[in-house]
Amino acid sequence: MSMVRAPGPPPARQTAPVARRGRPPARNEVWRNGRLAGLAPSDLAARFGTPAYVYDLDVVGRQAAALRAALPPRFDLAYAVKANPNLAVLRHLAGMGLGADVASGGELRHVLRAGFDPSQVVMTGPGKRDEELAAAVDAGLRVVTVESVGELRRLARIAEAAGRPQRVLLRSAVTEAARLERVRLVGDDGAGKFGMGTADLRIAAAEAVASPWLEPIGLHAFGASNVTDAAALAGHVESAVDTARALAAAAGFELRLVDAGGGLGIPYEAHEAELDVAALGARLAALTARLDGDPATRQTRLLLEPGRFIVGPAGAYLTRVLERKQVGGHQVVIVDGGIHHVLRPALVGQEHRVRVLTGSAAGSGASPSRIPVTVAGPLCSGLDVFAQSAAMALPDPGDLVAVLDVGAYGATESMPLFLSHPMPPEIAVRGGEAWVARPRIDPDTWLGWQVGEPGGA
């Protein structure tokens, strides 16, 4: 099988993003004013086929710019690559001057190819292989987050062998509940796979201070995922700073960086509220004023690792209706894409918004009546359902439907080999220009990778 080479992207614009205070006046998302990323859905489907992922890079830029404008200058942003590692997305964010948070050697290769400054890249993750740690040291990353005493010792040996000291953050396993109660390095931190409990934090801090090959500069303390409560997010940052200050004072190192992780959320359903970034920024401004008044934290930088907030609203999964039927008095629509490409609804049990984009059900004329509709995919699995009772006008076969808010944890969180359907392409759009950021991959491709017998095909 020969694969069509994807056309390259249009030249990147060099204009800086417009700084904005607070949240956008209207919801900043890929589907707006009857168009997908500013283009007619039927044109996108005709050109690129269905199903397909569509990413609006202008939305990505506006989300990043709005967040950066709302935060105090002391805060840095490192985009969480796990949310969406597509090269078009990464290059767009690198061009805006953001840092990056990588959690594997593969993600590190992605950001280096995309043009991120290694001195603004941080590495996290609970299970780093020696070769990944060596790649981080060799690249000269801003900092490596250490999740255990054993990992700290492995990193020290690797840095010594390379002859390059490495800056580190120590990751705390203190629970979010404990942080909100302002528990500082005392008591039982509970169980979990991420970070270190109280005793190991102290051991790791002491060893890092004593090592000539490690330079402890602060603490990493992740809170929770997809939080849209500005007060809760700000409270987590405040608690992380308190924990970091106590650890640095006890171990005797200068506190230069506190990484509060990501967790900045987006609404997935119509009734959910957006994160108020203006309120978040105001609360964090009060925190930075407190840090300015303390000699121990006057030079401390703060880091957030947003992923979902920046790219989630920018993505749509474009699919086409194959069939519709009535089952037990309920309307069911079958589309040509499913949870093998968009796993999150089945994985976390939360439906995404589904929109009919074309045909009479799209409401281009008189407002059509809305009824509960089950929107499901083509897989032989009862889990393959996007929405159980989406309120919509009933679409016809051939109509286009979009699953929204899939710019984060979409394509690369999927299980594309299930039932051997083609992998959907990823289409990037910027300023009204669309291109194939990753082409469609047919099952023949991965069939060609397989070997049926020793020494044979």
**Catalytic residue list:** 380
Q: Which amino acid is at 115?
A: G
**What is residue 295's three-state secondary structure?**
coil
Alpha helix locations (H) across 217-261?
230-251
Give the residue from 196, 253, 250, 255 showing the smallest Cα distance to 221.
196
Give the residue from 104, 143, 149, 93 showing the smallest Cα distance to 120.
143
Give, rounded to a whole angstrom, the gap between the first and last alpha carbons of the chain: 15
> Residue for token digits 């000699």?
295
DSSP-assigned states of every residue in 177-225: HHHHTT--S-S-----SSSB-HHHHHHHHHHHHH-TTEEEEEEE----S
Alpha helix locations (H) across 255-368?
277-292, 308-311, 344-348
By the 8 A CB rule, do 118 and 141 touch?
yes
> Residue for token digits 């300015």?
292
Which helix (H) or strand (E) element contains residue 44? helix 41-48
Measure the CA angle with vertex 271, ends 373 and 275; round to 5°: 135
